[in-house]
Amino acid sequence: MTIYIALLRGINVGGHNKIIMAELRNSLEQLGLQNVKTYIQSGNILFESDETEELLQTKIHEKIKEDFGVSSVVIIRTAEKIQQIVSQSPFSDQEISEAESSCKGECLHVALLPTAPSKANSDKFLSFVNEKELSVINGRDVYLLFYDSIRNSKLGNNLKKLEIPATVRNWKTLMKLSSMIEEAKRMKSK
């Protein structure tokens, strides 16, 4: 069985699209997903399945819509891909350290997309990069480094230029998901 991470967009944000994580875990177990675990309330789900990313994306989206009345974008990544995202940050330790020293809140984020954006849309989005807001697009993943804040940033507010729905996670969340993956791998090997 493959270990996957599902990332839901817009769950439990600002009092909208409320889903209790225990209920979400139960709902997803009804789909046959194994060892379902969640992290915080924003829709980060670790599970195991033999099905493909594409099929899981559709099934999870439909199940959430059916059980909770919420139509959320569902982004799926394998455990290996999440760990690759974490291990291959395009920003240097020095860039991250400098950003952290001036940033209000989390400075490093990754926007995860269901498919890679077109070159034209990537170019439109990257035109908003400046000395305080950096970005690197790597396939379906968009790394974002802010020296001030993601809130009200031109770069963050223009993710829509990619013309693909995205869900954004800060680095702390991705690191926690990576450690949950390591724990799940340890449990599988026992």
CA angle 93, 94, 96 (to 5 degrees): 65
What is the predicted pLDDT for the residue at 34? Answer: 96
The CATH classification number of 88-169 equals 3.30.70
What is the predicted pLDDT for the residue at 104? Answer: 84
The CATH classification number of 2-83+177-189 equals 3.30.70.1280
What is the predicted pLDDT for the residue at 152? Answer: 82
Sequence-ordered list of residues with C-beta below 8 angstroms from that of 132, at least 6 positions apart, any chain? 146, 147, 148
Domains of the chain by residue range: 2-83+177-189, 88-169
What is the predicted pLDDT for the residue at 110? Answer: 98
Mean pLDDT by groups of 10 residues along the chain of 190 residues: 94 81 95 95 93 96 95 95 96 93 92 97 97 96 95 92 95 95 88
pTM of the model: 0.93
Rounded distance between C-alpha atoms, residue 57 and residue 112, angstroms: 13
What is the predicted pLDDT for the residue at 44? Answer: 95
What is the predicted pLDDT for the residue at 85? Answer: 97
What is the predicted pLDDT for the residue at 123? Answer: 97
Domains 2-83+177-189 and 88-169 belong to one CATH topology: yes
